[in-house]
Amino acid sequence: MLSYFLRRLLMAIPVMFFVAVFVFLLLRLTPGDPAQAIAGDQASLAQLEAIRESLGLNEPLSVQFVTWIGQMLQGDFGRSLISDRPVLEMIGQRLGPTLALALVAMAMTLLIALPMGVLAAWRHGGMTDRLVMAVSVIGFSVPIFVIGYVLIGVFAVHLRWFPVQGYKALADGIGPFAHRIFLPGLALASIYIALISRMTRASMLEVLREDYVRTARAKGLPEGLVLFRHALRNAAIPILTVVGTGFAMMISGVVVTETVFNIPGLGRLVVDAVLARDYPLIQAIILLTAGTYVLINLAIDLSYALTDPRIRYQ
């Protein structure tokens, strides 16, 4: 298992290098000028040229690339062209809210979607099944921003149970944190609740037809135990795959949620960086995101072995 883990980590190096080259070139081919983002619309060409020169943007692309890669190998992701702040410091400021939002949304998803899917499969064809499927269709069909606005309108503006916007870190207390993260977490979770409840239902339906489930029931085991210990565990592999890819997709979903609920997270940072053509910042965020994807995929692969003893990695 350890050698498999290390081999997968080594394989990530060329992947990350390819991502680095691709992102670097793609950004340079995209029209736009960071100097203009700093100097504003009314700046003269001479002013823009002075800024470009000081930022090193007039250097040949190969020189810029080698400089950037060299800095990164020393753990230096560079400074933002626009704010002149260290890129890692800026990402550090924004990482917490995004991670908190994604984790809360994923926790809500699992807490709501798994029982929903199991229930729907158990009561296959009945009212519960239809209700779960209806909720799932709504979750798929309604965009996150609409769900966000509806939640704000009902629970924040009308009922005043929650604040309309903003974020409090866990360090400010569990109460304020939960109070502010609940609605955005639910909005972001909505589509994943739909996705994972459907996947759980489909996977459970297959497993519930297996002989060992019939045997477990014949032995007189309580239905809850049959469903959640025997059936769900065996249905877990496709669900885990979707949870893994869903978590990765969630990183992109946070952009909309962060905007609607005004959460100062990575999603908004990356949109800002793209609009301002802040190359080092975009490059660093994309590399970190790619690294996260690689690690999540690895974690999912490893979790298969934990849920299914037949799977062994060499």
Partner 1 sequence: MTFHPLKSLGLAALLAGTIALPAWAETTLTAVMQAPLRSLDPHLSTAQIVRTHGFMVFETLLGMDADYQPQPQMADYVVSDDMLTYTLTLREGLMWHDGTPVTAEDCVASLMRWSQSDGSAKTMMQYVDSIEATSERELVIHMKSPFGPLLELLAKPSPIPAFMMPKRLADTPVGEQIPEIIGSGPFKFVADDYRPGDQAVYVKNEDYVPREEPASWTAGAKVVNVDRVVWQAMPDMQTSINAIQSGDVDLIEQVTIDLLPLLAMNDEVETGILNPLGAQVTGRFNHRLPPFDDPEVRKAAMYALDQETLMQTAIGNSEYYQLCPSIYGCEVPLASDVGAEYLEGSADERMAKAQELLAASGYDGTPVLMMQPTDLTVLTTQPIVAAERMREAGFTVEVASMDWSTLQSRKNGWQPVAEGGWNYFFTYWGVAGIWNPLVHSLINGSGDDNSWAGWPVNARMEELRADYLTAGTLDEQKQIAEEIQQIAWDDSFYFNAGEFKSVAAWRTELQDIQSGPITLFWGVHK
Residues near partner 1 (CB under 8 A) are: 30-33, 36-48, 50-55, 80, 82-85, 90, 93-94, 149, 152, 156-157, 160, 163-166, 259-262, 264, 268-269, 271-272, 275-277
* Nearer of residues 230 and 277 to partner 1, judged by Cβ: 277
Residue 162 Cβ, how far from partner 1 at the closest point, in Å? Answer: 10
* Nearer of residues 108 and 276 to partner 1, judged by Cβ: 276
* Nearer of residues 43 and 205 to partner 1, judged by Cβ: 43
DSSP, collapsed to helix, strand or coil, labels residue 106 as helix
Backbone angles phi, psi at 105, to 5 degrees: -65, -40
* Nearer of residues 122 and 167 to partner 1, judged by Cβ: 167
Which among 163, 166, 160, 153 is positioned nearest to 262, based on CA atoms? 166
Residue 262 Cβ, how far from partner 1 at the closest point, in Å? Answer: 5
Greatest alpha-carbon pair distance for the chain in Å reads 84
Residue 42 Cβ, how far from partner 1 at the closest point, in Å? Answer: 4
* Nearer of residues 55 and 189 to partner 1, judged by Cβ: 55
Residue 260 Cβ, how far from partner 1 at the closest point, in Å? Answer: 6
Residue 41 Cβ, how far from partner 1 at the closest point, in Å? Answer: 6
